[in-house]
Structure 1
Amino acid sequence: MGTPEQPVVAAVDGSEGSARAARWAAEEAGRRHAGLRLVIVNDDPVRAEFAERAVEKVAAACRTRTPEVEVGTEVADGHPVEELVRRSAQAQLLVLGARGLGGFTEALLGGVSTTVATHASCPVVVVRENVPTTVGPVVVGVDGSPSSQRALLFAHDAAARLHAELVVVQVWHEVGLLAGLLAPQDRDRVQQEVERSLAEQTATVRDLRPEVRTREVVERGHPVAALIDASRDARLLVVGHRGVGGFDGVFLGSVAAGVLHHAVCPVAVVRDTGGTR
């Protein structure tokens, strides 16, 4: 679990997308009473001077925006993914811009942000190009797995810090491409079973901080589509990191990967081991 002594780390690359993510990270560091460390990874010695100027420019903006937060900077040499994953081991949160390092567009999201979210030791937040909203709930997707329980705890803490409503979403659907549609009475039965399961999952966090207003939503459909829809009015969407085929830490789960690419609001990916803050 992350501690206040560990900083929030934000990746910077000179693009507006990374500057926006750094501003979000500065505000989150203030809410956590933590320091902020801005890291730019430079893999070209010719651009060393540019890298230094870029990170200091963002640092100055963050200090102006959140003067109560201690802001440090670092220019690291090496590969962006490797260096950011390495720094995640000493961070309570790692924040990235959705457009990726180097100013590339959506294609690089799969190459940097998804890879970092897969291998980072701490939770990772990817800030989209849309201006993050300052109103609306924190939304978390759960499915009863240990990973989603970690995500639920992270989301509950985030909602408490933001004084926001927590919306806990569980989505179910008929399993398999060849599965037939359930009869109405069976559909109602499954809906009720999932509702009971969701109530049990949220009971623990309700007891932790009763002041956090919690709402449970059970939908039938596709998890990615439902969470993307929920993200339109949210200030943060939280999902668990899940391996594919049991190889946790090798692949990012399909739901997490899907919402990283398409959600409107910032997305937090929380591993099922390590920090939950």
Structure 2
Amino acid sequence: MKRSIVVGYDQSPSGDRALAQAGREAAWRDASVTVVNAFHWIAVGRPGAYVPMGVETSLKDAADSIAATGVETLRRHYPGMTVDSAVIAGPTADAIAEAAREADLLVLGNRGRGGFTGLLLGSVSIRTLTLASGPTMIVRGTPREPTDTVVLALDVEDPGEELMDFAFTEAALRGARLEVVNVWDLDWTEAAGSDVLARAKEHAVADIRSALERRLNPWHAKHPDVHLVIEVMDGMPSAVLTELTASADLIIAGAHRRGDGHPGMRPGPITHTLLHHADCPVTVVPRA
């Protein structure tokens, strides 16, 4: 089956960046793109209130126009690409998540047209992500020249096959190096100032690296052309990983699927921090 990408588009500056990124991702994958815009009209329930005729039609027409602009933009930049639109009535987050249910990747902007400047991540974007059933990219950070580096935040004790699969595939598609990072707070060894504890730290780092290599080797064998770098780093994971995004093209993190039988993800505290503070796009991959 041909791969597919869904992008939420609202003609905002953030939406324009998401659209451009969706085009690049589709070109790397030889995928089709669906440009989605949702309109939501809540009817006035107060008795005697006047609701102008044609309100819903006007909202749909505006959504059609926005989606068509996105389609036209992508077709102009990628003449051979299959690009379609979908205009859906209903709450924006729910509509976009449902439209992307079978997609290989959902791409969203950091903040929509209705977002307040003070918000680090728009409420629609974060709600869409928590409802999404597949890998979801939030396009954020400072626009800059590519560094050809993809960072994967990996927990050696609970890495997730889906996460490693996506990371190696993404790095291979981009022709980028994959930097797999595991962060442990090992500063207690330095604070103690003991040679014995310092050696214990060295052994701990070596054990973590060895465990990471065992986890990653099968995936590296499937993608031998990917330049793999493994880093075991000290510090608070959220702070260290956020700092790394200043020199990365993309950071990939995982989120457990909801356990209540409904589609969607539950981003943990590290992923949540990256979504609000990363200086590059963040892709969240759902996992068991």
Alignment equivalent of 2:232, drawn from 214, 218, 222:
218
TM-score by length of 2: 0.84
Say if 2:277 is the partner of 1:265. Answer: no
- What CA distance in whole angstroms lies between the structure 2 residues aligned with 1:216 and 1:154? 17
**Displacement, 1:69?**
1.2
- What CA distance in whole angstroms lies between the structure 1 residues aligned with 2:120 and 2:67? 20
RMSD of aligned alpha carbons: 2.7
Which residue pairs with 2:28 in the alignment? 31
Query: How many residues matched?
Result: 267
- What CA distance in whole angstroms lies between the structure 2 residues aligned with 1:158 and 1:179? 36
Alignment equivalent of 1:252, drawn from 267, 275, 281:
267
Which residue pairs with 1:22 in the alignment? 19
| Letter in structure 2 aligned against 1:200 | R
Which residue pairs with 1:84 in the alignment? 96
- What CA distance in whole angstroms lies between the structure 2 residues aligned with 1:181 and 1:271? 37
- What CA distance in whole angstroms lies between the structure 1 residues aligned with 2:255 and 2:280? 18
> In 2, are the aligned partners of 1:11 and 1:18 still within 8 Å (CA)?
yes
Say if 2:181 is the partner of 1:184. Answer: no
Label 1:100 to 1:166 Cα distance change in 2 as closer, same or farther (>3 A): same
- What CA distance in whole angstroms lies between the structure 2 residues aligned with 1:126 and 1:101? 15
5+ long unaligned stretches in structure 1: none
Label 1:147 to 1:194 Cα distance change in 2 as closer, same or farther (>3 A): closer
> In 2, are the aligned partners of 1:97 and 1:126 still within 8 Å (CA)?
yes
Label 1:240 to 1:76 Cα distance change in 2 as closer, same or farther (>3 A): same
Q: Deviations over 1:98-117 (max 9, x none)?
A: 11353544527252222222
TM-score by length of 1: 0.87
| Letter in structure 1 aligned against 2:35 | L
| Letter in structure 2 aligned against 1:269 | V
Alignment equivalent of 2:241, drawn from 219, 227, 242:
227
- What CA distance in whole angstroms lies between the structure 1 residues aligned with 2:12 and 2:68? 13
Label 1:265 to 1:155 Cα distance change in 2 as closer, same or farther (>3 A): same
5+ long unaligned stretches in structure 2: 42-55
- What CA distance in whole angstroms lies between the structure 2 residues aligned with 1:48 and 1:12? 14
Q: Deviations over 1:138-177 (max 9, x none)?
A: 11010035554422211110110111111110111269xx
Which residue pairs with 1:41 in the alignment? 38
**Displacement, 1:47?**
3.0
Q: Decide which structure has the larger Cα Rg and report it.
A: 2
Which residue pairs with 2:207 in the alignment? 193
Trace 1:228-243 onto structure 2 (pairs within 5 A): 228-242=242-256
Which residue pairs with 1:118 in the alignment? 130
- What CA distance in whole angstroms lies between the structure 1 residues aligned with 2:116 and 2:144? 20
- What CA distance in whole angstroms lies between the structure 2 residues aligned with 1:192 and 1:247? 38
Say which SS state the counterpart of residue 287 (structure 2) adopts: coil
Moved more, 85-94 or 44-53: 44-53
Aligned-residue sequence identity (percent) comes to: 28
- What CA distance in whole angstroms lies between the structure 2 residues aligned with 1:162 and 1:226? 24
Moved more, 159-168 or 60-69: 60-69
Say which SS state the counterpart of residue 216 (structure 1) adopts: strand
